[in-house]
Amino acid sequence: MTEDRKLDQDVMREPVIEIKGLYKSFGDLEVLKGVDFNLQKGQNIAVLGKSGTGKSVLIKIIVGLLKPDRGSVNVLGKEVNQLNAKELDALRLRVGFSFQNSALYDSMNVFQNLSFPLTMNFKKLSKAEVKDEVMDALEAVGLADKAKQMPAGLSGGQRKRIGIARTLILKPEIMLYDEPTSGLDPVTCTEINELIVEMQERYHTSAIVITHDLTCAKTTSQKVAMLIDGSFTKSENFEDLFDIEHPQIKSFYNYNFTK
Amino acid sequence: MNDKKPGKYVISRGLDQFFIGVSDAYRFTTRFFKELFKPPFYFRETVNQCFEIGLKALPLISVTGFIIGLVFTKQSRPSLEDFGATSWLPSLMGIAILRALGPLVTSLISAGKVGSSIGAELGSMKVTEQIDAMEVSAINPFKYLVVTRVLASLVTIPLLTFYCIVVGLLGSYVNVNMEEATGFIAYFKGAFSSIGFLDIITSLVKSLFFGFTIAIVGCYKGYNATSGTRGVGRAANQAVVLSMFLIFLEEMLIVQVVNWIRYF
């Protein structure tokens, strides 16, 4: 049974994230109960699960925003829990995190939102270089004309795109998407899904896509895993996962694709 | 059914939370001093914050300082008149405004205007994950948001305090001039005649303490805001209430210490 809940390890490919026996609780509430998880280079994995099952907690632990109770989290060969602040910052430059609500800086316009992480981390870049980088990133997400706009004036889909552009501007090797299509209409969802695939092809990133949206999971990821009761189901191809007889998996499928 | 688990709290829920809060605030404050001397130094952001804080509070301090100087002089006049001592008004007002009213009025207005603004701004950034976004972009949000604001407050509040003192004395002068036609130079000579070096240093020290308190409390409450928009409102409110309470406490302690120095 426990073996069923562990994800496949593809020994042919280099792992960029390796998680072993991860536990995390908040007070009396145990969220993650011995999670094992692997992400290989160039691979996208969609993580599904009910609200409150700890999907976002998992990716926050990966970037060191939350500390696990126990377990090992190895990202790009570094044990996250053992890094000092400087080492953690160096690792964070290699791991992009796209927030559920985009988390754009309200007080800055779109251009400043993108240039801020660049100028803070690469002080030797000239103004012209920063401008080129920002405009390239904005063009990549199709929003070059919004550079002077404030985040409050953007639509939900545009905010998500700018959030992704801000993350990609640091050229990360791994992308963590926290519910990239939540709260968006089907047309914008499709655009965001295409953008995630395009970004993977363009920047050769590996990614974890946290989502409730099975279309998003199917479009953006090669594998799908489901977090149930604090641990993962076996990592599967999209079709194989839904052959597993489990009420939560069935319920997920039936809600998204009514049989 | 009694669902209270025995031994769940060390003393009681309220007291446990109080001591945990004090410990958190202590760690937050000590972190400020640790981060203060570590690079990178965000000089431009500190200057921006100086303008933000200064400009926000300046109009209100100008009006309030002037009115307080004028009204305090008007209210003190009858008591001094009974003893035929109205000529003491300038020196009385000099002492009152420099020693107590100037620093207190400036800090209370700043607590309301600046403290709440810092609490709400950082609180909003916290609940919308903007602080986390900085952290995952390898930017130290404590250094960028907290250290710059506290430093700006340490620079700006003393400047605003001395500005308030000058404006308060002008208000007082207007009243004295209207009642007795006392000249500008004569009034200020009288006002400064009783003021010593210790009074000026005390005001400076007070304003530094008050400025630090306003900013660190605002930042602490905002940085630790939870529970969505309700949490932002609570952070802004608590930033004002707590900093005002601490300002009065500090005022009392500093006055005790200064009086002890003055008389021994």
| CB < 8 Å to B128, chain A | 101, 103, 106
What DSSP string describes A220-234? Answer: H-SEEEEEETTEEPP
A12-26 average pLDDT score: 86
* Closest CB from A65, A95, A166 relative to B132: A65
Residue A1, pLDDT score: 37
Query: A256 pLDDT band (50/70/90 cuts)?
Result: low
Q: Nearest residue on chain A to B125, judged by CA atoms?
A: A105
Cis peptide before B40 (omega within 30 of 0): yes
Distance, CA of B121 to chain centre: 18
pLDDT at position B172 over 90:
yes
| CB < 8 Å to B118, chain A | none
Nearest-CA distance B64 → chain A (Å): 30
Q: Is B20 on the interface with A (CB under 8 A)?
A: no
Q: Nearest residue on chain B to A108, judged by CA atoms?
A: B130
- Taking the CA atoms of B182, B183, B187 and B193 in sequence, report the sign of the dihedral they define: negative
Q: Is B31 on the interface with A (CB under 8 A)?
A: no
| CB < 8 Å to B124, chain A | 106
Q: ipTM score here?
A: 0.86
- Out of A185-189, B107-111, B204-208, pick the least confident: A185-189
Domain residue ranges in chain A: 15-100+173-256
Nearest-CA distance B159 → chain A (Å): 26
Nearest-CA distance A259 → chain B (Å): 37
List the CATH code of the domain at A15-100+173-256.
3.40.50.300
Tell me how far apart the alpha carbons of residues B166 and B191 are, in angstroms, rounded to a whole number: 11
| CB < 8 Å to A97, chain B | 133, 136
- Out of A118-122, A226-230, B258-262, pick the least confident: A226-230
A200-212 average pLDDT score: 89
Query: A residues 159-178 near B, CB within 8 Å?
Result: 166, 170
Interface contact A117-B140, CB threshold 8 A: no
Interface contact B128-A117, CB threshold 8 A: no
Q: Is B138 on the interface with A (CB under 8 A)?
A: yes
B169-197 average pLDDT score: 91
B71-80 average pLDDT score: 92
Q: Is B11 on the interface with A (CB under 8 A)?
A: no
Interface contact A116-B137, CB threshold 8 A: yes
Query: A257 pLDDT band (50/70/90 cuts)?
Result: low
B174-183 average pLDDT score: 89
Interface contact A103-B130, CB threshold 8 A: yes
| CB < 8 Å to A134, chain B | none
pLDDT at position A188 over 90:
no
Tell me how far apart the alpha carbons of residues A136 and B63 are, in angstroms, rounded to a whole number: 50
Q: What is the mean pLDDT of chain A?
A: 86
B32-49 average pLDDT score: 92
Tell me how far apart the alpha carbons of residues B165 and B109 are, in angstroms, rounded to a whole number: 14
Interface contact B139-A103, CB threshold 8 A: no
Tell me how far apart the alpha carbons of residues A213 and B69 are, in angstroms, rounded to a whole number: 65
Residue B7, pLDDT score: 56
Query: B83 pLDDT band (50/70/90 cuts)?
Result: confident
Q: Is B129 on the interface with A (CB under 8 A)?
A: yes
A107-126 average pLDDT score: 93
Residue A217, pLDDT score: 86
- Sheet of A44-49, strand order: A95-98, A174-178, A206-210, A44-49, A223-228, A231-232
Interface contact B137-A121, CB threshold 8 A: yes
The more confident residue out of B56 and B71 is: B71
Q: Is B139 on the interface with A (CB under 8 A)?
A: yes
Whether residue B69 contacts residue B171, with contact meaning beta carbons closer than 8 Å, is answered with yes
Domain residue ranges in chain B: 19-263
* Closest CB from A63, A95, A120 relative to B139: A120
| CB < 8 Å to A150, chain B | none
Query: A11 pLDDT band (50/70/90 cuts)?
Result: very low
| CB < 8 Å to B144, chain A | 120
Residue B3, pLDDT score: 47
Please list, in sequence order, all residues whose beta carbon lies within 8 angstroms of the beta carbon of residue B124, skipping any fewer than 6 positions away.
A106, B130, B222, B225, B232
Query: A235 pLDDT band (50/70/90 cuts)?
Result: low
Give the single-character DSSP code of A244: S
| Backbone angles phi and psi of B92, in degrees to 5 | -60, -45
pLDDT at position B65 over 80:
yes
Residue B201, pLDDT score: 94
B11-31 average pLDDT score: 89
Residue A258, pLDDT score: 57
A166-176 average pLDDT score: 91
3-class SS of residue A92: helix
Tell me how far apart the alpha carbons of residues B65 and B152 are, in angstroms, rounded to a whole number: 22
Interface contact B132-A103, CB threshold 8 A: yes
A125-137 average pLDDT score: 93
The more confident residue out of B169 and A228 is: B169
Please give, one letter per residue, the 3-state secondary structure of chain B.
CCCCCCCCCCCCHHHHHHHHHHHHHHHHHHHHHHHHCCCCCCHHHHHHHHHHHHHHHHHHHHHHHHHHHHHHHHHHHHHHHHCCCHHHHHHHHHHHHHHHHHHHHHHHHHHHHHHHHHHHHHHHHHHCCHHHHHHHCCCCHHHHHHHHHHHHHHHHHHHHHHHHHHHHHHHHHHHHHHHHCCCHHHHHHHHHHCCCHHHHHHHHHHHHHHHHHHHHHHHHHHHCCCCHHHHHHHHHHHHHHHHHHHHHHHHHHHHHHHHHHHHC
pLDDT at position B111 over 60:
yes
| Burial (CB count within 10 angstroms: exposed 0-12, middle 13-18, buried 19+), residue B107 | buried
Mutate to test the interface with A, among B31, B130, B136, B149 (most CBs of A within 10 A): B136
Q: Is B161 on the interface with A (CB under 8 A)?
A: no
Q: What is the mean pLDDT of chain B?
A: 91
Query: A91 pLDDT band (50/70/90 cuts)?
Result: very high
